[in-house]
Structure 1
Amino acid sequence: MTEKKLAAGAKFPVLSLPVVAGRDIVLGDAGQLEDRWQLIVIYRGKHCPICKQYLATLEELKSEFAAEDIDVIAVSGDSLEKAKAQVNEGSLTFPVAYNLKLDQMSELGLYISDPRSPEETDRPFAEPALFAVRPDGRVQIIDISNAPFARPDLKAILKGLKFVRAKSYPVRGTH
């Protein structure tokens, strides 16, 4: 059960996670972001066919996000082996972080599910979420779901972030 949620406009927790490419990536660290944004996509894991499709769409839009100085990063609680298979099967070229721990999932306010069977997966996993993090490390957009079928449209997110940046649109939902 999710016990707390990350507030809109709050600092995104600084998390260092291993990436399939063999290095670590730091999420939410304003000192490392410079003038770039991060679009952090939490996916359920290799066992999820809807995630595979969503990550494929993210791959298609990666260059459009990059043109707006937005780095895309996908994150799951999967093992290195499963994350590597996800990258290879999807021909993913953006960073894919793995081994998100339960306490990190909770810190982000994610919904966490137990596997329905050993055939599904071998550990509890995070349900989908999306965070757009500004260069100052604050969260501009938060979308947290408890089901694999409820995810924001990535083209709409791209269009929205272009608008946010062009108009210096404030973080909403902070009342």
Structure 2
Amino acid sequence: MALQDKLDAFKADFKAGKPPYQAQAEIHPIMERATAELIASGQAARAVKAGDRARVFKLKDQNDNDVSSTDLLARGPLVVTFYRGAWCPYCNIELQAINEVLSQIHAYGANVVAISPQTPVNSRKSVRENRLSFPVLSDVNGETSAAFGVRFSLPGYLVDLYRRMRNDLPAFNDDPSWTLPMPARYVIGHDGIVLYSEVNPDYTRRPDPSDMFAVLEKATAKG
């Protein structure tokens, strides 16, 4: 099943309040309003895109080890996915889908990292619960997502909803700012130039991992 089909099926069950999801009909218009406003802001179009030079980063992984984009790019192309956190089911479904094709990505000589604003403890939770075989990096204070242009501030009414839902982002992220990255996926070439970018302000929409394969094949041939 394609990734978007899985996401759409989850969304339908969530909105219908099917077990184990409690029916909370009032939350969906609030989330949809916030998504519509983020789309209308045009921020996604201003983010780092294909043809740009990728921002350099050095972040801690789930085991508190330093992971450098410079070191990874010295080995080959790099897939970078920005996600919101272990509390986001859409993100978890996406991470699982990427993990399912990890051997194919490695066959192109590429590596994968996921980046979120959450603490290493919650990154370990992401790795453990999704059975990931690639590192999850902690973007302290959202500095890397801001550098890529994908970080945004939640509107006050959405902060209120998250608090009611016990999505305590300041606790998850050890950051009081109530900010998140838009879901984004990049393929960065060996030379640091972005070869593929997909940034979507609608967190329920994610590109299929297979969409990267043609780009990775060209990057491998070029390298």
> What amino acid is aligned across from residue 45 of structure 1 in structure 2?
G
CA contact (8 A) 1:19 1:97 kept: yes
Name the counterpart of 1:136.
191
- Structure ranking higher in strand proportion: 1
Q: Identity percentage over the alignment?
A: 22
Name the counterpart of 1:117.
162
> What amino acid is aligned across from residue 199 of structure 2 in structure 1?
I
> 1: CA distance between counterparts of 2:79 and 2:121?
24
> 2: CA distance between counterparts of 1:167 and 1:66?
14
Structure-2-length-normalised TM-score:
0.67
Structure 2 alignment gaps of length 5 or more: 1-40, 171-178
Is residue 151 from structure 1 mapped to residue 206 from structure 2 by the alignment?
A: yes
> 2: CA distance between counterparts of 1:35 and 1:23?
18
Name the counterpart of 1:22.
64
Pair 46,141 (structure 1): closer, same or farther in 2 beyond 3 Å: same
Q: Map residues 47-58 of structure 1 onto 2, 5 A cutoff.
A: 47-58=87-98
CA contact (8 A) 2:187 2:196 kept: yes
- Structure ranking higher in helix proportion: 2
RMSD between aligned alpha carbons? 2.2
Task: Return the match for 1:101 from 118, 133, 141.
Answer: 141
CA contact (8 A) 1:111 1:146 kept: no
Pair 62,167 (structure 1): closer, same or farther in 2 beyond 3 Å: closer
> 1: CA distance between counterparts of 2:210 and 2:102?
11
How many angstroms does 1:165 deviate by?
A: 3.3
> What amino acid is aligned across from residue 154 of structure 1 in structure 2?
P
List per-residue Cα deviations over 1:8-55 (Å, max 9, x = no partner): 32221111110013311112x2x6523500000111111110111111
Name the counterpart of 2:80.
40
Structure-1-length-normalised TM-score:
0.83
SS at 1:101 equivalent:
helix
How many angstroms does 1:82 deviate by?
A: 1.3
List per-residue Cα deviations over 1:89-121 (Å, max 9, x = no partner): 111110110134333322101042434423123
> 1: CA distance between counterparts of 2:50 and 2:133?
29
Count of residues paired in the alignment: 165
Pair 109,24 (structure 1): closer, same or farther in 2 beyond 3 Å: same
Name the counterpart of 2:105.
65
> 2: CA distance between counterparts of 1:46 and 1:73?
15
CA contact (8 A) 1:133 1:139 kept: yes
List per-residue Cα deviations over 1:49-81 (Å, max 9, x = no partner): 011111111111111100101101111001112
CA contact (8 A) 1:131 1:143 kept: yes
Name the counterpart of 1:172.
none
SS at 1:81 equivalent:
helix
Name the counterpart of 1:80.
120
> 2: CA distance between counterparts of 1:167 and 1:88?
34
